[in-house]
Structure 1
Amino acid sequence: MIALFKTDTVVVNAAQGCFDYKHDGEVRLNDQPYVLKTVDKVWAQFFVKLSFECGHSVLLWRDSCDEREYRHFLANLQRAREIS
């Protein structure tokens, strides 16, 4: 069980700080670049789980963002999915 916690399999950290999303899938979290691999939107009314190519995952909580920006982020993800 301890190994699961160490690999973020059970516990996923919440995103903290400045978050910027670009249409090409690049995410900047606290000025650190990440490449978006997958987005789990099952619980999008509360949060989305962002998984990156490097293996890290974070939760982006809806109530931690401006409501309009959160909806805009989800709409951009949907558009990108429809294009590809």
Structure 2
Amino acid sequence: MLLEIFNFYLQGLLMSVIMVTLSGGVWLFYRAGKRLDKTLKERQAALYDTLMMALVSMPILSFAFMAIIIMIKA
């Protein structure tokens, strides 16, 4: 049972990594396309903010995806 839960968590973690990476990339390309950041420091700050938001949201989303996977499998 513990192994199954760990498997569901790893699947959720993989899904959250993919989703957060894609959404962060889209957000950075949107900012670059609209030229919202004029200086190098502003671009670097936007990149750091995106990375920090990704690192914070990945574990939370992995549990959410794990719950969805468990509900689908049940």
Q: Do they fold alike, i.e. is TM over 0.5? A: no
TM-score band w.r.t. shorter chain:
0.3 to 0.5
Query: Quick check: which one's helix share is greater?
Result: 2
Bigger Rg over Cα = 2
Give the TM-score normalised by the residue count of structure 2: 0.34
